[in-house]
Structure 1
Amino acid sequence: MNAPINRRSFLGMLAAGAAVVGVPSLLTACGGTASTGSTNVGGIATTTDHLPTYVPITYAEPDYPSVNGSLPGFEKIPEEFVQSVDAPPGKGSSFTAMTPLWGTPPPTTGNQYYEAVNEMLGSTLTFQIADGNEYGTTLATALAAPKDLPDWVSVPTWNIPPRFASEVVPNVFQDLTPYLAGDKVKKWPNLANIPTAAWSYSSFDGKLYGLPFPTGVINDSIFYRDDILSELGITPDVKNGQDLIDLMVELTDPGAKRYGAHDMWTAATLIHSVVPKWKLTDDGKLLHRVETDEYREALEWNAAVFASGAVHPDVDNTWGKQLFWDGEVVVINDGLGSWHENLAQMLGTNPNWSQTPFPPFGADGNDPTYYKGNPCSIFSFLKKTDDEARVTELLDLANVLAAPFGTTEYDLIANGVEGVHFTRGSDGLPVPTELAASEIQPTYMFLVDGPEANAKVQYPGFVKESSEFTQLAASYAVEPVFWGLQISEPDQYASIGQPFEDLEKDISRGRKSLSDLDAAIETWRSAGGEELRTFYQGILDES
């Protein structure tokens, strides 16, 4: 096999009945189980019977159509919204939900936004919001006491703990396959509107457990405070990695408490086209990302950023967003979702506050290669229960929360209550009130969401600028090997990659060198890396 595996063709083979997996040694190695009509390797089922039927719904036509998986952009509010769920579906029950937040938590009592959404749901959903920066620790602690776990738990993919697929998922969370598989999902039209790829990535060992928060294929970028550059009279012209370093050095003025950069490791991986995990060579073999030239070059570049003096001295002790908000850091790498979240956070106190992404570029000045992000980066799970009515009611609520752009439900969740959290301008666009900044924060979206849409029309010019950027960036996007597949790695290899996270920081900060990388790679190979490669190569070869 000399071409990267394509998730759509992979699922197509499964749907056609192709026997793509089933090597006994691999089944034993990954702890997979075989049953009539369904076997799995690394958690990948040989059938798609567990996946919900995809039934797309369109309530509004985008002004900026999706390009190669970019988010569709909507510059206008529909003249009339469609109520996608006829009446509040809840039974008056009370549920708890745990979600992360990278910002100031809103009040949970006396919050008119929560009250309005609970009224729309017909049941009370009370949030237990945790600091997003510490969410991995919070999640691990919560999972250690499953009896006390909230009814609904958000799990970012980057916070998945060890043995999650093999132990936590089947023992702690509800198997949703009997409720949502195939045409059963049609009972909940908004859930049926979620693309198949997101459901596939929310599946473990051939069963559907997760409720997805679908995302676009471009998830990260390099932003700069264009309001600050404008004040300084600087027009950025960044076409390669050295240009970016030069700009960040130019922006650095310790006397003014202004530094050009935060830790730019994510930026380094972007401009050097570092693969998310595995790279497929021309002869069909797999290289782990840490073994690639691109990874080594990214480390060298980030070390040069630190050596330049442009990095804020408190980079390891102060939250990067706070430094970016305060203007102490001018350039930062962050998720695309932070763009509108920062606007919501800052425009109330600083109407001139503005950020923008650098146009896509490769470190060497050539076009970059962006690797598509997974079809969902966050999913949620329902606490396991024998009460089928409780599961059904929670799915009823999920169907409301997954309502897409153009619906009354989406409008309420996105903007709050008209006259309370926003007013309508002469152009019909929502204008947030001061109360919106304190009462509305991203919460419901981390439980479940419909196909993501760029409809943040309350921020003038945002939809146009961000849609055009993501359309351009997505034109450079390719699917990495194993794209969109939720693969359950053998538990014994769960932590062998952890040393590289520390090493990335140490090399970047000059505490270690690239010779230490060579030693770490050899340690990784002998500690199970070669066996892990064989595991993935087996899946690749069989497919």
Structure 2
Amino acid sequence: MTPNAASAPSAPSRRSFLASTAVAAVAVGGGAPLLTACGGSDSGSREGTTSGKDAKKLLPAFVASNVVAPDIPAKNGSAAGFTRKLALADLKTSVPKKLGKGGKVTIMSPFWGSPPKSDNAYYKAMNDLIGTDVHWQNQDGNTYEQKLGAVLASSDVPDVVVVPSWNLNGRIPSAIISKFADLGPYLSGDAVKEYPNLAAIPTDAWQRSIFGGALRGLPMPQPIVTGIVPLYRQDIFEAEGYEVPTSADAFMAWAKDATNARAKRWACMDMKWTAFQSFGVLSGNEKPLGWNLVDGKLVNRVETEEFLEALEWTRKLFAAGVVHPDAELGKSQATDPGPKFAKGEFLVYANNMSQWWSRTAEQAVQNPDFKVWGMDIFGHDGGDPVLWAEQPAGIWSFVNKKASEEVVREVLAVANVTAAPYGTKEFMMTNYGVEGTHYTVKDGVPTKTDQGNLDVLNAYVMVASPAPTVAHPDFPDVARGQVEWQQRMGAFTRKTPFFGMQITEPSRYANLSSNFEQLEDDITRGRKKISDMQQAVSDWKSKGGDKLRDWYQKILDENGSAAN
């Protein structure tokens, strides 16, 4: 059980990091959706940056849930953690009475996998629990953006539409502003208290849900701490007497010592993302997060010395022959690294935190000595790292502007159930379905049945979610390890000026930096030089980067900074 902890692609690209913790309940078969590059239209591109006093008027009051106390409370931007076994008899009730009035609601949402039949037992049970007749229009998550664009351009928009952040491209942001309702009258201030589970959603996630100067989105919150962890074979480290590296130089020295190509063992996979973290490079997950104020001037991540230093260190790893050949050839981006990691062909790789649990679960029976753990991100010089906060929400559901108040209330009734916290009956129903039909519990560990694997996939969890939570009753040590890792790294995490803001760059800048990621990989593999990146940055500045800086500066002047 891993609420709000995504299963990301095996070798994430820049865009896939957006799904870091946002797609937990929707990742199917070990893979999250293919993510696309950010774009945007000029229309409505800056209305969504409401912050400061203006935003405070729109935000719901925060009332922490006291229904269930976590074993490890959230701290430093982490998820909350549960390490205890699950006892169905101890589940709490967070929605004592149905708020739905029996109305019909249609919801369009991305779906990864095969959608179940519309009259399946899970949908029936959820609708009965909520008191609302929800009808799902599930769409292929891999091609969702095309469908989304077509629907929003039409006059036939469903009552509710789910939009992930990686689909905020083209005309979609302006369509959100023109097509979807202002939920402020129902949720701003104390109004949210009618929906206690929504009131317990962190304020940062609501701030991120302001589009076009109005509170329009119902969010899926996520931790602001990076979800990308250097995962390593702790069992082999201990057997070989290796010390966990605490600097860039120490990692290089260890990697050379650990690599034995003749024995088919290499130190690591591509460590570029760990390099970015270790050298303090600004986030590459979303364009606004790539800007920071330095001596009063906005600077982009690609303009920094840290960016070049991270690429150079990664290049040296490849040049030293310590990186697994699959990464050299690019195979790691298309294949699951799990089997070769389990065989010990490489000992460290950077990936989504969810693989800490999934790799453990995969090997628990067949390889009981196997132990994967998360390596703390080290400062490149051996000191504390400088890490940068990720956005506090990454998926939203929106209500049709034409919906009646009755329909809006029905939608909020749905969201109040799906946002129920871990340890409640509503959470179990939303995430696991009906006991006996969709899951069983043995020794405190819930396991989906075949029917559960068919019915209980990514549907209701997309409407709204509780504050981020990590819970693994089968591997409580992993749950504790994940949350404590987030808390340690959270202590070194800073916010950039545009944290939590909804910003869509003008379309004229959409492709300005589209070639950087490929150039990064060419440099780290020795096909290009650092000087090529310096030239690319110079071109970027002259072709629009400097004007884009001015555009961001105006937003900053008008809205203030979110950094604190």
Asked whether 1:294 is paired with 2:306, we answer yes
* More displaced stretch, 309-318 vs 518-527: 309-318
Match of 2:491 among 475, 482, 487: 475
Q: Which residue of structure 2 lines up, in the alignment, with residue 138 of structure 1?
A: 144
* Residue-pair matches, total: 499
**Measured at CA, do residues 254 and 382 of structure 1 come closer, stay the same or move farther in structure 2, by a change above 3 Å?**
farther
Asked whether 1:461 is paired with 2:477, we answer yes
* Alpha-carbon distance in structure 1 between the residues aligned to 2:268 and 2:175: 39
The alignment partner of 2:110 has SS state of: strand
8 Å Cα contact 1:398-1:448 kept in structure 2: yes
Q: Which residue of structure 1 lines up, in the alignment, with residue 435 of structure 2?
A: 418
* More displaced stretch, 368-377 vs 114-123: 114-123
8 Å Cα contact 1:305-1:311 kept in structure 2: no
Asked whether 1:356 is paired with 2:394, we answer no
**Measured at CA, do residues 115 and 240 of structure 1 come closer, stay the same or move farther in structure 2, by a change above 3 Å?**
farther
Q: Which residue of structure 2 lines up, in the alignment, with residue 323 of structure 1?
A: 337
Offset from partner CA, 1:249-294 (integer Å, 9 cap, x none): 666666777654443332121111112212222x311211111111
**Measured at CA, do residues 145 and 418 of structure 1 come closer, stay the same or move farther in structure 2, by a change above 3 Å?**
closer
Q: Which residue of structure 2 lines up, in the alignment, with residue 313 of structure 1?
A: 326
* Alpha-carbon distance in structure 2 between the residues aligned to 1:61 and 1:149: 40
8 Å Cα contact 1:42-1:488 kept in structure 2: no
Asked whether 1:156 is paired with 2:164, we answer yes
The alignment partner of 1:333 has SS state of: strand
* Alpha-carbon distance in structure 2 between the residues aligned to 1:259 and 1:158: 34
Distance apart, 1:45 and its partner CA: 7.4
Distance apart, 1:498 and its partner CA: 1.9
Distance apart, 1:198 and its partner CA: 0.8
**Measured at CA, do residues 452 and 526 of structure 1 come closer, stay the same or move farther in structure 2, by a change above 3 Å?**
same
Identity %: 32
* Alpha-carbon distance in structure 1 between the residues aligned to 2:523 and 2:504: 30
Q: Which residue of structure 1 lines up, in the alignment, with residue 104 of structure 2?
A: 93
**Measured at CA, do residues 319 and 384 of structure 1 come closer, stay the same or move farther in structure 2, by a change above 3 Å?**
farther
The alignment partner of 1:305 has SS state of: helix
* More displaced stretch, 472-481 vs 434-443: 434-443
* Alpha-carbon distance in structure 2 between the residues aligned to 1:139 and 1:346: 36
Q: Which residue of structure 2 lines up, in the alignment, with residue 56 of structure 1?
A: 64
Asked whether 1:82 is paired with 2:89, we answer no
Q: Which residue of structure 1 lines up, in the alignment, with residue 129 of structure 2?
A: 120
The alignment partner of 1:199 has SS state of: helix
**Measured at CA, do residues 456 and 150 of structure 1 come closer, stay the same or move farther in structure 2, by a change above 3 Å?**
farther
* Alpha-carbon distance in structure 2 between the residues aligned to 1:244 and 1:322: 24
* Alpha-carbon distance in structure 2 between the residues aligned to 1:360 and 1:480: 19
Match of 2:189 among 173, 182, 189: 182
8 Å Cα contact 2:159-2:403 kept in structure 1: no
8 Å Cα contact 1:32-1:43 kept in structure 2: no
Measured on the aligned residues, the alpha-carbon RMSD in Å equals 3.6
Q: Which residue of structure 1 lines up, in the alignment, with residue 78 of structure 2?
A: 70
Distance apart, 1:358 and its partner CA: 0.3
* Alpha-carbon distance in structure 2 between the residues aligned to 1:459 and 1:169: 41
Structure 1, unmatched stretches of 5+, are 1-28, 34-38
**Measured at CA, do residues 422 and 342 of structure 1 come closer, stay the same or move farther in structure 2, by a change above 3 Å?**
farther
Match of 2:537 among 498, 518, 521: 521
* More displaced stretch, 78-87 vs 256-265: 256-265
**Measured at CA, do residues 130 and 107 of structure 1 come closer, stay the same or move farther in structure 2, by a change above 3 Å?**
closer
8 Å Cα contact 1:204-1:488 kept in structure 2: no
* Alpha-carbon distance in structure 1 between the residues aligned to 2:502 and 2:332: 33
8 Å Cα contact 2:209-2:502 kept in structure 1: yes
* Alpha-carbon distance in structure 2 between the residues aligned to 1:407 and 1:62: 12
For 1:83, the aligned partner's letter is: T
**Measured at CA, do residues 323 and 65 of structure 1 come closer, stay the same or move farther in structure 2, by a change above 3 Å?**
same
* Alpha-carbon distance in structure 1 between the residues aligned to 2:188 and 2:73: 29
* More displaced stretch, 223-232 vs 204-213: 223-232
Asked whether 1:402 is paired with 2:428, we answer no
The alignment partner of 2:82 has SS state of: coil
Matches within 5 A, 1:259-270: 260-270=267-277
Asked whether 1:192 is paired with 2:199, we answer yes
For 2:421, the aligned partner's letter is: P
* Alpha-carbon distance in structure 1 between the residues aligned to 2:477 and 2:308: 38
The alignment partner of 2:326 has SS state of: coil
* Alpha-carbon distance in structure 2 between the residues aligned to 1:74 and 1:288: 38
**Measured at CA, do residues 338 and 392 of structure 1 come closer, stay the same or move farther in structure 2, by a change above 3 Å?**
farther
The alignment partner of 1:313 has SS state of: helix
Q: Which residue of structure 1 lines up, in the alignment, with residue 385 of structure 2?
A: 368
* Alpha-carbon distance in structure 1 between the residues aligned to 2:490 and 2:139: 32
* Alpha-carbon distance in structure 2 between the residues aligned to 1:144 and 1:262: 40
For 2:211, the aligned partner's letter is: F
* Alpha-carbon distance in structure 2 between the residues aligned to 1:113 and 1:347: 30
Asked whether 1:221 is paired with 2:228, we answer yes
**Measured at CA, do residues 196 and 513 of structure 1 come closer, stay the same or move farther in structure 2, by a change above 3 Å?**
same
Structure 2, unmatched stretches of 5+, are 1-40, 284-289
Q: Which residue of structure 2 lines up, in the alignment, with residue 4 of structure 1?
A: none
8 Å Cα contact 1:162-1:495 kept in structure 2: no
8 Å Cα contact 2:222-2:392 kept in structure 1: yes
TM-score normalized with structure 2 length:
0.77
Match of 1:509 among 513, 522, 525: 525
Distance apart, 1:359 and its partner CA: 1.8
For 2:106, the aligned partner's letter is: F
Match of 2:453 among 434, 438, 446: 438
Q: Which residue of structure 1 lines up, in the alignment, with residue 394 of structure 2?
A: 377
**Measured at CA, do residues 163 and 246 of structure 1 come closer, stay the same or move farther in structure 2, by a change above 3 Å?**
farther
For 1:316, the aligned partner's letter is: G
8 Å Cα contact 2:437-2:452 kept in structure 1: no
8 Å Cα contact 2:301-2:307 kept in structure 1: yes
Q: Which residue of structure 1 lines up, in the alignment, with residue 36 of structure 2?
A: none
Distance apart, 1:403 and its partner CA: 0.9
Asked whether 1:278 is paired with 2:291, we answer yes
**Measured at CA, do residues 385 and 508 of structure 1 come closer, stay the same or move farther in structure 2, by a change above 3 Å?**
farther
Offset from partner CA, 1:303-323 (integer Å, 9 cap, x none): 223333413426635556722
**Measured at CA, do residues 477 and 413 of structure 1 come closer, stay the same or move farther in structure 2, by a change above 3 Å?**
same
* Alpha-carbon distance in structure 1 between the residues aligned to 2:265 and 2:457: 28
For 2:208, the aligned partner's letter is: Y
* Alpha-carbon distance in structure 1 between the residues aligned to 2:346 and 2:451: 27
* Alpha-carbon distance in structure 1 between the residues aligned to 2:360 and 2:139: 21
8 Å Cα contact 1:43-1:487 kept in structure 2: no
For 2:216, the aligned partner's letter is: Y
Offset from partner CA, 1:44-93 (integer Å, 9 cap, x none): 57613322222322112232222222222222357633322223726263
For 2:213, the aligned partner's letter is: G
8 Å Cα contact 2:205-2:219 kept in structure 1: yes
Match of 2:349 among 329, 332, 337: 332
